[in-house]
Chains A and B, each alone.
Chain A
Amino acid sequence: MTASIPTNQTILVVGGGISGMTAALEAAECGKEVILVEKTPTLGGRTAQLYRYFPKMCHPTCGLEINEKRLRGNPRIRVMTMTEVTAVAGRRGDYKVNLKVSPRYVTAACTACGDCGKAVSAEVPDAFNYGLAKVKAAYLPHPMAYPQRYVIDPSIVGTPDGEAAKAACKAGAVDLGMQEETAEISVGAIVWATGWRPFDANKIQPYGYDRIANVITSVEFERLADPHGPTGGKLLRPSDGKEARNVAFIQCAGSRDENYLRHCSRICCMASLKQTQYVREAYGEGENGAKSTVYYIDIRAIDRFEDFYAKVWQDPTVSFVKSKVARIAENKENGNPVLHGVNTEGYHRYATEHDLVVLAVGMEPEVTGVKLPEDVIQDSSNFIEGSRDGGMFGAGAASSPLDVNRAVQSATAASLRAIQVIRKTASTEAA
C-alpha cells in the first residue's frame, strides 16, 4: 500500500460491504485514489454473514474472495477498518472529512496464527453470528475476514487476559497501549455504501420474538444453516436443541407496514424461498422430512428470480399460505410456536403449530438514526439518494433494499458518478 496523501482527487468510500468494496475497486481500477473506511474490524459486510446466496446458491466466499484478491493487488486503495466518519465539511470536489479510528490492539504484524485467542479465557458475544454464540475476546471476525488480522476486545485490555494474549503472540503484534485516533482528510467525492441492518423484530409485538424462544429472524436462520455458525450448520431450534423440520416463514415482518418500515424490503421473499431449500437439504422429502410453510401477502420475486420461485412452488416440501399472520402464541408443553390468522384464499381461520418460526425481517438502512452530513438527501425510509451538491452518492443497500447482484450494479454506477466529480474538479483546477 502506498501512503499517498489524500487530496480532492481522492474518492472516499464509506462502508466496506460488497457494495463499498466494489465502488472502491471500480474507481481504483480506473486509476483513482480511494480511501475505503469500514467501522467494523473487517470488510465483507452482511454478505459474509449469509450461508449461501440466491439465485445460484453459491457461498459468499465466491464473491468476496475475488474482491479481496483485487484489493490486495491494488495500491490505490487504502483500507481503514474500525474507522468511522465523524464529520463532513465543504462541498462537491472539496470535502474535509474527520475520521475516528478505534484501537484494534493488534498491529499489521499479526499472522492470524490464533495463539492469542487460545491464550485468553474471556468470551464476548459473537457479532458475526448475530450474538447467537460467543467468541474468545481475542478473535478473528470470521474465516474470510479482510484484513486477516485478529482483534482484541477492549473489555480485556488492562486485565490478565489481555496480558496473556500479548505474551502468547510470537509475532509481537499485540499492542495494548493503542489509543483511539482521529484524522482529517481531503476528498473530492464520497460514496456512502453503509448498507443495511435487520429490522428490530422486538418491535413487532404480536410475533413475540422477545418472548418465544423458537421465533427467530431470517438473519439468524442463515447463521444456523452455516457450518461456521453456532450449531455447526445443523437446523436446531433454540429452546431445546431439537431438529427444526417443520419451519414457518413469515414474510413482511416489519416491511410494507406503516407502523414499522414503509418500504418493501424486496429481498426477503427470495431469502425465505432460498431458506426453504436449506430445510429441504437438511431433512429431505418424506413423512418425517422437511416441511416449510411460507405465510405471505404476495410473493415478490423480482425479475428473473421468478424462475427460482416457480421451482420452489413445485417443491413438495414447501407450501404457501396467503395470509399475514395475526399473532404467535406458544404451546407451553412442547415450546412450539402457534400461528394464528386467516388464510385469505377461502378465508379459513388457522391455528398452526410449527417447530420453528423464521421472521423474514425487513432491511432498514444502517444509517437510520445516524447523523449524516446535512447535504445528504434521504428518502422517507432513510435510504440515501445522493446530495444536494452532487458530490455524494448512495451505493448498494444504503441506497435501496437490494440483493447482492443489484447492490454491485448500484455501486458501480455510484463509482462512475464519483469519478466524474473528480474529473471535473481536476479540469477546473487545471483551467
Chain B
Amino acid sequence: MSDMNTQAVARYRNNFLKEVEERVEDGHWVRMCMQCGVCAGSCPLGPHWEHSPQKIFMMIRAGKREEVLTSDAMWMCTSCYNCIVRCPRKLPITHIMHGLAHYSHRLGLAPKGQPTREIAKLFWDSLVKTGRVNELKFSLAMYFKDGFGQGIKNAMAMQGVGLGLVKAGRLNPMEILGGHACKDKGGIQKMIAKAQEIENRKKGLTA
C-alpha cells in the first residue's frame, strides 16, 4: 500500500465520506444522493459491473472505503451521461465516478490490469513524455498489453481501420521511429507538474 493511502487512512479514520468530499473531484455531491436508483437502472454497463453509482454512493456513506476504492465500477463508466441526465438531484455522477477512479489510482488501490485503467495510463504516459499522444504507439501498446500472441490477433483484426487512418493522413507509420513531440515539450511538462502541485495542495495530498 502506498504512503499516500496510509496517510489518508490516518487522517480520516472512519470518515470516508469526508475524505471523498475533500479529495475527490465533485465528491461533495455524494451526500445529496437520495438512493432512488435511477442511475443504476439507466447505466448501459449496468449488468456488467459490481457496483452501480447509487450503490457506490451508499457504500461511501457507509464507510466502505476498501470496497469502494478497489471497485472496478468507476473504471467501467463510458461517460454516456445517461445517469446525469436522469438524476433527480442533479448529481454530476459521471464526474464523481471519474473523480473516484482518479483518486483510487493515485492511492494505488485501483484494480490491477483493469483495461480502462491500463489504456488511461498508456494515454497519459504518452502525453506527459512528448506533449502529444502518439497514435501508433498508443494503439500498438494497447493491442499488445495482453501479450504478443493476443497483440498480433488484435492488430490483424484492426488492420482495416489502421490502413484507413493511414490513407486519410491520420496515422503516420513513421511515427514508430520515435514520433514527433510538440514544440515546447518542457513547457507542457512544467504545466502538468504545476497542475499536480496545485491539486495536491488543495486536497491536502503529499506524494
- Chain A residues close to B by CB (< 8 Å): 206, 252, 256-259, 297, 322-327, 340-344, 347, 349
Contacts and interface: CB of A to CB of B under 8 A. Distances in A.
A206 B54 CA distance: 19
Given A297-B34, A323-B41, A324-B37, A342 B46 contact: yes
B37 A323 contact: yes
Interface string B141-153: 0000000000000
Interface in B82-119: 85-86, 88-90
B128 to A, nearest CB: 38
A259 B89 CA distance: 8
A347 B41 contact: no
A326 B47 CA distance: 14
Contacts of A340: 41
B38 interface: yes
A325 B90 contact: no
A254 to B, nearest CB: 10
Contacts of A322: 37
A341 B42 CA distance: 7
B34 to A, nearest CB: 6
Interface of B: 34-38, 40-42, 46-47, 52, 54-55, 85-86, 88-90
B47 A349 contact: yes
B89 A297 contact: no
Contact of A349 (B36, B41, B54, B85): B41
Interface hub of B40, B54, B85, B88 (most chain A Cβ within 10 A): B88
A257 B89 CA distance: 6
A259 B90 contact: yes
Contacts, number: 59
Contacts of B88: 252, 256-259, 324
Contact of A347 (B55, B86, B90): B55
A323 B37 CA distance: 6
11 contacts: A252-B88, A256-B34, A258-B89, A259-B85, A324-B37, A324-B38, A325-B41, A326-B86, A327-B41, A327-B42, A342-B46
B90 A342 contact: no
Contacts of B34: 256, 297
Given A347-B52, A349-B46, A349-B47, A341 B38 contact: yes
Contact of A324 (B36, B46, B47, B85): B36
A342 B43 CA distance: 10
Nearest to A325: B41
A258 to B, nearest CB: 4
A161 to B, nearest CB: 48
A229 to B, nearest CB: 31
Given A259-B86, A341-B40, 12 more contacts: A206-B42, A258-B89, A323-B41, A327-B41, A327-B42, A341-B41, A342-B41, A342-B46, A342-B52, A343-B37, A344-B36, A349-B46
